[in-house]
Amino acid sequence: MSSNILFASSNKNKFDEASKILSNFKINLEFFKSDLIEIQDDSISDIASQKVKDAFNKSQKPIIVEDDGLFIDSLNGFPGPYSSFIFKTIGNNGILELVSSNRTAKFVSVIAYSDGKNIEIFESSIKGKISDKPRGDGWGYDPIFIPENQNQTYAELTNKNQISHRYESLSKFASWFLNRQE
């Protein structure tokens, strides 16, 4: 069985990663390139819920969005839900300048699904730490995040799509989505 679903984002890298992950579950994603309304809120789930409402209103088809955040302990969880804006503003080097000797962090991913009637939320997080410098060829915060029990950043790992925060939340979504198709 193969299922098709839209993935709304303005970030092609995020779509490509999600598409590869969900193909393992025989779910085919179609890219719905869209700049979505992104509310400023302390809750990634609330941000994703609002984004998926906007995405469904624009597409009128079952759709998912993904929102994520990097939460750094020594910065009291900053940049957290503001990760995208902060990355565009100061980038990885700016984050590295802000981090103290306590480099522990976590990456959180929220997948929000809407069919126009209901919204479902799937959240996961991966603990890790911030590297001392950017390492590897990757996008976003991947060159500075080292997941727990690893020595390499997401950008250096060949199996990132099998261990990441995005993989975990997409797996939860896929399980739920495929179960309701039966």
pLDDT tens per residue across span 8-56: 999 999 999 999 999 999 999 999 999 898 898 999 999 999 999 999 9
Please, which residues have CB within 8 angstroms of residue 45's CB and are 6 or more apart in sequence?
A: 110, 112, 121, 123
pLDDT at 3: 65
pLDDT at 38: 85
Query: Is residue 177 predicted with pLDDT exceeding 90?
Result: yes
pTM of the model: 0.93
pLDDT at 4: 82
Catalytic residue list contains 67 = yes
CATH hierarchy code of domain 3-181:
3.90.950.10
Q: Pick the catalytic residue from 41, 54, 67, 137.
A: 67
Average pLDDT over residues 106-116: 97
